[in-house]
Structure 1
Amino acid sequence: MEGAGHTIVNVEMVETEKNFTEEEEKHGTETKRQHFNRLDSLEKEASKVSGMASATKAASLATVMQLAFQSIGVVYGDIGTSPLYVFASTFSDRQPTPDDIIGALSLIIYSLTLFPLIKYVFIVLWANDNGDGGTFAMYSLICRHSKVSAIPNRQTADEMDLSAYKLKIPDKHLKRAHMIKEAMERSSWAKTSLLFVALLGTCMVIGDGILTPCISVLSAIEGVKKIDTSLNKDVIVMISVAILVVLFSIQRFGTDKVGYTFAPAVLIWYMFIGVVGMYNFTRHDSTVIKAFNPVYIFRYFNESPKEAWVSLGGVVLCMTGTEAMFADLGHFSVRSIQIAFSGLVYPCLLCAYIGQAAYLSKFPDHVSDAFYKSTPESVYWPMFVIAVLASVIASQAMISATFAIVKQSMALGCFPRVRIIHTSHKHEGQVYIPEINFLLMVACVMVTASFKETTKIGNAYGIAVVAVMLVTSSLLILIMLMIWQTNLLLIALFALVFVSFELFYFSSVLYKFTKGGYLPLSFAAALFFVMYVWHYVQTKRYAYEVEQKVSTHYLTRLGSDLGISRVPGVGLLYTELTHGVPAIFSHFLTNLPAIHSVLVFVSVKYLPVNKVPLDERFLLRRVGPKEYKMYRCIARYGYRDRRIGHEEFENLLMENLKSFIRIENWESRQDDETVEPSIEGSELGSEGKEEDEEIRFLDSSRRSGVVYMLGHSEVRASKDSYLLKRIVVNYVYDFLRRNFRQGFVDLQIPNKNLLQVGMNYYI
C-alpha cells in the first residue's frame, strides 16, 4: 500500500512537531526510552548481524554456482554484446593503422580490468544495502548511518524498533567518520547535494535503459547484410524496430520468464565469441598479445593525442552494462556475481577483443563491421542468431533495471505514481510498469529510427555509461570515509586511479555532444526535472500540513461542545503526519459532523531501506483519551516491499492493534508496583476485562464496515509566490498529478469503501 506515502520531511521539521496529545507524548517518550536502551546492544550486535547476512549469502557452493549461472542470463547480456560495436565506434571516423589497433586493444584490456573487474566486482559490490545494489541502495546505506536523508517520509518515529536497520557506525571513536557525519547532518546543502547525486545517477541509468535496446539490437541485426550487401539502412532499421516492439510487448511476462529462460543462450554466446576470438588470434596475428603491455597506451596517445583522446568515446563502450552487475545484485549474491564475471565473462570478452584486433591488423578497412567480418563463414549464421538473442537479453536486463529504479523512486516519493505489477513470487524486486514500458518503447523506436547507425547511438551511450560510473564513485568514496572507515591513503589511491580516469573518459564522450551525446543528457534532464518538481512540491506540501495541523485541545472537545456523533464502523484516515491531528480531520468533521466508533490515523511511510520485516511493519499508539477509541498507525515499507491489497492490510492492522492493546495493558500492570496485594488481584481482573471489551469492540466495529478517508488535495502556489514557483506548482505539478495515478488507486480501495473530502493547500 502507498496511501499518503509521498511527502518529504527533514529532521529539523520533525523536531518542530511538539504539540501532540499528552497520551501520544507519554507513549512516544516510553518508546524512545526503549529505543535508546536498545542502541548499545544493537551496536554490539551490528558486526554479528552483518556476519549473519554474509553467511546467509554464502550458502552452499552448489547454490552459489546456480546463482552464478542464472546471473549470466540476467546481468551480463549488455556487457557481452559490446564486441558487436566497440571497434566500429572507436574508429568511426578513420581507418586505423596496426599501431592504432594495438593501442586501442591495450586500452580495452585495461579498461575491462580496472573498472568492471577491480572496481565493481571486487569493491563496489560490497557497498550494498543488505544485499541490494544500485544508486538508491548506496544512498540508503549512507542515510542509515547518518541523518542526511532528504527523501519523502523520513521521520524519527519511522525508525523506532526497526531492528534490522539500526546498524550504526561500528567504531564511534574514529574522529574522522564522526566529523564527516556531523558536518553532513548540520548542512542542508550536503543533504540536498547527496539526493541530487542519487537522482542524477538514477536518471542516467534510465537513459542507459533507453539506449541499450537501440544499440544492441541494431548492431546485431546489421549481420543480416550477409544475405544482400546492398540492403540499405532503412531495411535494417525497420527490422530492428520490429524486434524492439516485440521485445517491449513481452515485458509483461516478467524477468523470470524472459531472462532466466535465456541464460543458456547467453552462455553459448560467450563461448562463441571466446572460441572465435581465439581462432582469429591464432590464424591472423598472434603478436597483438603485446597489447597487455601498457606502454602501447602511451605510444598510442603520443603518436596522435587528439585522435586517441576522441577514440576513448568508443573504447568506453566495452564497459557498457557494468552497472547492471551492481544494480541487479538483489536477485543474486556477491559471490555468484564475482564467480560468473571472473570465471566466464571477463576471459571470454578478452578473447573476443583480442581476436577482433588480430583480424583488423590484417584487414583494417573492415573496422566498421569488425565483429561479423571476423566471424568464420562456417559459424556465421549460428553466430548471427545467437547475437540477436543476446542483444534481446541485454536489452531485457536494462529494461528490468529501469522498472526497479522507477519503483524505488516512486516508493521514496521522488516520482509520480504509476501502476506497478509484480511479475515474480520469488523476487519482489522484479516488476513491470506498463506506462514506463510504453514510454521506453516509444523512445527506443524514435532513437533507432532517427539515428539509424550504431556509431551515432554509441556517442550518446558513452555519456550515460561514464556518468553513472562517476556517480557510483562519488557515493562509494563517501561510504569509504564514513562507513567503511578506510585508510585515507587507500581512498586517495582509489580516487587517483578510478575517478581521474573516469573524468578523462567523460571529457572524451562530451566531445561528441553534438553528434548524439546530447541524447542521454536530454533524457536525464527531463527525468530529473519531473523528479525534482515532484520532490519540491511534496516537501512544501508537508510543511503546510505541519503548519496547519489542529490544536491538541481540539480532541478534548469532540465529545462536548463540537456535537460530534460516533457511528458504528472503523474509519482509517490517511495522513502524512506521525504526530498531532491533521487539518484534514477537522475538515472532514466540518463537512460530515460524525466519526466512526473506531478511528485510526494511518501514516504510510517508505523508508530508505530495501525491506521492512513484516513483524515490524506497524508502529501503534493511542490518540486522545482511552475511551475515544482513536489510534495512530505508522505503516512502514522499504523500497522493495510489495504493496498489499486493502483486505490484507485491514487484517494485519487489526491483528497488530489487538496485540498493541494487550501489550499496553500488560505494561500498565507491570508498572503499577505500588498497588497493595489485597486489591491487586481485583485491579488485574478489571484491567483484563477492560482489555477484552476493547478487543470485542474492535471486532464488532469492523463487522460494521471499514471506510477509508482520504483528503483530495489541490496544491496551489500562494499569492505572494514568484512567477517560476507559480508555473512549477500550478501547472507542471498539477499536470503530473492529474495524468498519473491517484492515491486511492494505489491503495486498491473499492469505491464503496472510499470517502474523500477536498481541501486546498497553499504553499
Structure 2
Amino acid sequence: MNGVVESAQSEAARPLVKAGVASLGVSALGIVFGDIGTSPLYTLKTVLTLTGGAPTPEAVLGVLSLILWTLVIVTSIKYVVFAVSIDNDGEGGILALMSLLGIKKHQRPAIVAIGLFGAALVYGDGAITPAISVLSALEGLNIATPAFEPSVLPAAAAVLVALFAIQPRGTSWIGKAFGPIMSLWFLAIGALGVWGIARHPAVFAAVNPVYGLHYLLTNGYTSFLVLGGVFLCVTGAEALYADMGHFGSRPIRLAWFGVVFPSLILNYAGQSALVLDGASTSSNIFYRLCPEPLLIPLVILATVATVIASQSIITGAFSMTRQAIQLGWLPRLRIIQTSEQGYGQIYVGVVNWLLMVVTVGLTLFFGKSDNLAAAYGIAVSATMLMTSALLFIAMREVWGWSLASAGLVAGIFLCVDAAFFAANLAKILDGGYVPLLLASLVYGVMLIWHRGLQAVTQAIAERLIPVGEFMASVEARKIPRVPGTAVFLTRTSRDTPPVMVWHVKHNRALHDYLFVLTAVTQSVPWIKDSERLSLTEVAPNFWRATAQYGFMERPDVPALLSRARDQGCGLQLEDVTYYVGLETVVSREDGKGLPAWEEALFAAMARNAVHVTDFFRLPPDGVVEIGRQVAI
C-alpha cells in the first residue's frame, strides 16, 4: 500500500448518508457548487472584452445565449444527468471513472493515460481557481472607490495565504456554515439578476439558441476567442462530478436544478440586460448590478463565497492525491484525517503548501482576474474532453448501450468539449501554458513513481524462494523457533517473502507462528467486509493472507489480525512482532533497468516518501525494519 493516514476513525469508515435529501442538497451548495457558483464574477466581463470594442446588442444576446446553452448542455445534461449516473461504487471524478473502466480490462494504457492526465490537470485548476476567484471578488472594491485599487492585489495575496494557512486545522469547524453562506450567495445573485432583467426584459430573447449560433457563424476568429471565454461559466462542472461521493446524485441534482442553475441564469441575464441598457463594460459588470449602499456587503459576501469555492477545490486536490496514492500513482504522503465525522475531511501538507506557493505566485504574476482568465479555461476544458471520452466507453461497457446510441450522445459532448478546448488553445501564449506545464509535471511524477514501483516489485520477484524449500532449509539449518507471532508485510503474492528470508539470515531465528500479509488496492472505492480477507495455510502454523482494500479505504493491520483469528487462523495476538522491508533503490549494473535519470528521480521520491509502516497503523514499539538494496 502506498499512503499514510492519521486518525482515530475506524477502518473503512465510509461516509453514511443519514440526513435528508434536502439537507444534503444545502450542504452540497457549499461543498460542490462553490466554483461554478462564483463564475458570474468574471465570466461575462471576460467574454464581452473578447468581442472587441463596445458590445452591440447582437453580441450581448449572442454571448448570453452561448452561456445559457453551455450551462444546459455541459453542466445540466452531461454532468448532472449523465455523468453522476455513472459512478464507481458511489464515487465520481475522472480517477474513479478511470478505475471503473480499468477493472473491465486490465491492459488499457490509453484509458490510464487519459485518466491520469485529466487528474493531473485538476492540480492546475486547484492553483488557478483560488487566484482568479479571490481577485475577482476584491476587484469590486475598485467600483466603490478607485482609492482601493492599489490594495486589491496585496489583499488578494493576504487572503490566499490565510486560506492555505488554515488548512491544517481542517474544514469541519466551518463546514456547517458553507451551505447556508452559499445559499445566501445564490439568493443574492439571483435577486440581483432579477433587478437587472427588469431594466431590459428583452434580454430573455437570448433563450433562443439561434442568437448564439448566429454570433458564432458570423464573427469569424472573434467568435472562436469568445467561445474560450464562454467556457468559464462551467469551470466547476468537473468538480461537481468529483465531489459526488460526498452526497450522492439526488442531493446534487436537487441543488443544481432547484437553486444553482436558476440563480446563474438570472444573474447572467441580469448582467447582460444592464449592458443592453447602456452600462459600461470597462469595470466588473457583476458589481454594477448592486445598488451602491449594498456594494461593500456584496464584496464581503463575494469574497467569502470565493474562499469557500477555493476551499472546495483545495479539498478536491487532497482527495485526488489520496486516490492517486492508493492506486500507486503518487509517492506516499502524510495524510491527516481532520474530522471523525467526514472521511473526505483530510489534509495533505505537501500538496497544500505547494498549491499555496503556486497560487500566490500566479496572483502576483498576472495581477488581474482578466489576465488569469486566459490561463484558467484550458485545464478544465482538457479534463472535460477526457471525461467525455471515458463516458463514451462507460456507456458501452457499464450501461450496455449500442455503438450508435453511445456515439450519438457522447459524440455531442465530445464535439462541444472539443470546440471549447480548441478555443482555449488560443490562450496558450497568454497564460494557458501554466496549467499545462503544471499538469505535465504532475503527470511525469505519476508515471515515474508507478514505473519505479513496478521495477522494484519485479526485482524482488526474481529472487523468491518457494515456501517448501525455505522451511526445509530452516529445519535443516536447525534455525531456532521462538514463541510468538511474526507478521511479514510484503508486495509478493507467492512463495516466501524476501523480508522473512532477510530476517532469518540476519537474526538466525524464526517465530512459531508466521503470518504473511499482502495488501492489495483494487480499482473500486470500497470493498465489502465479507470480501476483505482471504487466508491459506501454506505450511504448519504458516499462513499467507491477502487483504483487499478500495482506493478510498485505509488498512488497519492489528484489526485485520483479529479478523484472521476469527476465521480460524491460530495466531498468538498477545505477542506479535511486525516485520517490514526497507528497500534502498540502486541502479542495475547490467544496464537493463530504468534509465539513470528515471531511477534517480524515483529513488529521490522513495527516500522522501513517508514509510509504509505508518499506513498500516502498526504499533511503533512492535515493528522491526529490515533493509536491503534493490537494483532497478
Deviations 1:259-297 (A, max 9, x none): 3322111111111111111111111x2212111112112
Aligned positions of 1:318-357 closer than 5 A:
318-357=233-272
The residue aligned with 1:534 is: 449
Q: 2:242 touches 2:316 (CA, 8 Å); kept in 1?
A: yes
Deviation for aligned residue 1:601: 0.9
Q: 1:620 touches 1:660 (CA, 8 Å); kept in 2?
A: no
Question: Which of these residues, 207, 213, 231, is aligned with residue 298 of structure 1?
Answer: 213
Q: With the length of structure 1 as denominator, give the TM-score of the two structures.
A: 0.78
RMSD: 2.2
Deviations 1:698-728 (A, max 9, x none): 33xx43x322211111223323337971110
Q: Which deviates more from structure 2 when the two are superposed, residues 433-442 or residues 391-400?
A: 433-442
Aligned positions of 1:6-21 closer than 5 A:
none
The residue aligned with 1:273 is: 189
Distance 1:246 1:79 in 2: 22
Q: Say whether residues 1:512 and 2:427 are aligned partners.
A: yes
Q: Say whether residues 1:79 and 2:44 are aligned partners.
A: no
Distance 1:452 1:563 in 2: 74
The residue aligned with 1:194 is: 111
Q: 1:545 touches 1:582 (CA, 8 Å); kept in 2?
A: no
The residue aligned with 1:42 is: none
* Amino acid of the structure 1 residue aligned with 2:605: L
The residue aligned with 2:502 is: 587
The residue aligned with 2:87 is: 128
Q: 2:338 touches 2:346 (CA, 8 Å); kept in 1?
A: yes
Q: 1:259 touches 1:397 (CA, 8 Å); kept in 2?
A: no
**Secondary structure, in 3 states, of the residue corresponding to 1:366?**
coil
Identity %: 33
Deviation for aligned residue 1:360: 1.3
Distance 1:605 1:552 in 2: 21
The residue aligned with 1:761 is: 630
Deviation for aligned residue 1:755: 1.6
Q: Say whether residues 1:206 and 2:114 are aligned partners.
A: no
Unpaired runs of 5+ in structure 2?
A: 6-15
**Secondary structure, in 3 states, of the residue corresponding to 1:101?**
helix
The residue aligned with 1:238 is: 154
Deviation for aligned residue 1:375: 1.9
Deviations 1:66-97 (A, max 9, x none): 11111111111111100000022213453322
**Secondary structure, in 3 states, of the residue corresponding to 1:236?**
helix
Distance 1:640 1:723 in 2: 32
* Amino acid of the structure 1 residue aligned with 2:36: I
The residue aligned with 2:577 is: 707
Q: 1:97 touches 1:364 (CA, 8 Å); kept in 2?
A: no
Q: 2:392 touches 2:407 (CA, 8 Å); kept in 1?
A: no
The residue aligned with 1:23 is: none
Query: Which structure is larger by alpha-carbon Rg, 1 or 2?
Result: 1
Deviations 1:450-493 (A, max 9, x none): 11111221111101111111121111111111121113332222
Residues 227 and 365 of structure 1, relative CA distance in 2, 3 Å threshold:
closer
Q: 1:584 touches 1:759 (CA, 8 Å); kept in 2?
A: no
Residues 587 and 4 of structure 1, relative CA distance in 2, 3 Å threshold:
farther
Deviation for aligned residue 1:431: 1.4
Q: Say whether residues 1:147 and 2:62 are aligned partners.
A: no
The residue aligned with 1:376 is: 291
Distance 1:501 1:90 in 2: 18
Q: Say whether residues 1:570 and 2:503 are aligned partners.
A: no
Aligned positions of 1:72-471 closer than 5 A:
72-93=29-50, 94-95=52-53, 96-144=55-103, 146-148=104-106, 188=107, 191-232=108-149, 235-283=151-199, 285-363=200-278, 365-471=280-386
Residues 252 and 439 of structure 1, relative CA distance in 2, 3 Å threshold:
same
* Amino acid of the structure 1 residue aligned with 2:145: D
Distance 2:329 2:361 in 1: 27
Question: Which of these residues, 597, 614, 631, is aligned with residue 727 of structure 1?
Answer: 597
**Secondary structure, in 3 states, of the residue corresponding to 2:140?**
helix
Deviations 1:624-678 (A, max 9, x none): 2x2xx1111212211111344xxxx3243134224234xxxxxxxxxxxxxxxxx
Aligned positions of 1:46-61 closer than 5 A:
none
Distance 2:544 2:60 in 1: 68
Distance 1:748 1:489 in 2: 50
Aligned residues: 621
Q: Say whether residues 1:657 and 2:565 are aligned partners.
A: yes
Deviation for aligned residue 1:747: 3.5
Q: 1:274 touches 1:351 (CA, 8 Å); kept in 2?
A: yes
Distance 1:616 1:70 in 2: 33
* Amino acid of the structure 2 residue aligned with 1:417: R
Deviations 1:15-45 (A, max 9, x none): xxxxxxxxxxxxxxxxxxxxxxxxxxxxxxx
Deviation for aligned residue 1:2: 5.4
**Secondary structure, in 3 states, of the residue corresponding to 1:116?**
helix
**Secondary structure, in 3 states, of the residue corresponding to 1:621?**
strand
Deviations 1:146-168 (A, max 9, x none): 232xxxxxxxxxxxxxxxxxxxx
Deviations 1:290-339 (A, max 9, x none): 11112112321233210111111211000011112211111112111111
* Amino acid of the structure 2 residue aligned with 1:147: K
Deviation for aligned residue 1:614: 3.4
Distance 2:45 2:309 in 1: 19
Deviation for aligned residue 1:223: 1.1
Deviation for aligned residue 1:200: 1.0
Deviation for aligned residue 1:124: 0.5
**Secondary structure, in 3 states, of the residue corresponding to 1:560?**
helix
Distance 1:475 1:206 in 2: 20
* Amino acid of the structure 2 residue aligned with 1:265: I
* Amino acid of the structure 2 residue aligned with 1:480: M
Distance 1:368 1:564 in 2: 82
**Secondary structure, in 3 states, of the residue corresponding to 1:548?**
coil
**Secondary structure, in 3 states, of the residue corresponding to 1:432?**
strand
Residues 333 and 651 of structure 1, relative CA distance in 2, 3 Å threshold:
closer
Deviation for aligned residue 1:743: 1.9
Q: 1:541 touches 1:761 (CA, 8 Å); kept in 2?
A: yes
* Amino acid of the structure 2 residue aligned with 1:68: G
Q: 2:141 touches 2:149 (CA, 8 Å); kept in 1?
A: no
**Secondary structure, in 3 states, of the residue corresponding to 1:245?**
helix
Residues 557 and 64 of structure 1, relative CA distance in 2, 3 Å threshold:
same
Distance 1:509 1:497 in 2: 19
Distance 1:549 1:237 in 2: 60
Q: 2:32 touches 2:312 (CA, 8 Å); kept in 1?
A: yes
* Amino acid of the structure 1 residue aligned with 2:175: G
Q: 2:499 touches 2:579 (CA, 8 Å); kept in 1?
A: no
Deviation for aligned residue 1:370: 0.9
Unpaired runs of 5+ in structure 1?
A: 6-55, 149-187, 662-694
**Secondary structure, in 3 states, of the residue corresponding to 1:660?**
coil
Deviation for aligned residue 1:447: 0.9
**Secondary structure, in 3 states, of the residue corresponding to 1:711?**
strand
Q: Which deviates more from structure 2 when the two are superposed, residues 556-565 or residues 379-388?
A: 556-565
Q: 1:711 touches 1:759 (CA, 8 Å); kept in 2?
A: yes
Deviation for aligned residue 1:587: 2.4
Distance 1:756 1:260 in 2: 43
The residue aligned with 2:548 is: 636
Residues 147 and 302 of structure 1, relative CA distance in 2, 3 Å threshold:
closer
Higher fraction of helix: 1
Distance 1:496 1:355 in 2: 33
